[in-house]
Amino acid sequence: MIAIYAPPATTASAPAQRYHWRGCGPATPYQAGFEDSRYNAIYRNPFPLASDAWHQYDAGHEDARRNAKEQRA
């Protein structure tokens, strides 16, 4: 029998809304934005407009774009 780990909906130390699922595990909003830009070349911010998570996603996306531009130069 294979047990699949499913984290609780919320925990005291890390609320579920802080993470966005990527592949097999959770990613922070910053990681989600970075990965969307770097690997998928898309901007799909799933977080509520102007929330902390929205700003973190945006920062990750912007950092990935800057990183790609620096690597091309």
The mean pLDDT of the chain is 81
* pLDDT grade for 73, boundaries at 50, 70 and 90: confident
Domain count, the chain: 1
Indicate whether 58 belongs to any domain.
yes
At residue 3's C-alpha, the angle toward residues 17 and 1, to 5°, is 165
Tell me if 25 sits within 8 A of 15, measured CB to CB.
Answer: no
What pLDDT was estimated at residue 16?
Answer: 46
pTM over 0.75: no
Indicate whether 49 belongs to any domain.
yes
Tell me if 61 sits within 8 A of 36, measured CB to CB.
Answer: yes
Indicate whether 5 belongs to any domain.
no
| Measured distance CA(65)–CA(13) in Å, rounded | 31
Quick check: 18 pLDDT over 70? no
Tell me if 7 sits within 8 A of 27, measured CB to CB.
Answer: no
Indicate whether 10 belongs to any domain.
no
pLDDT, mean of residues 16-25: 67
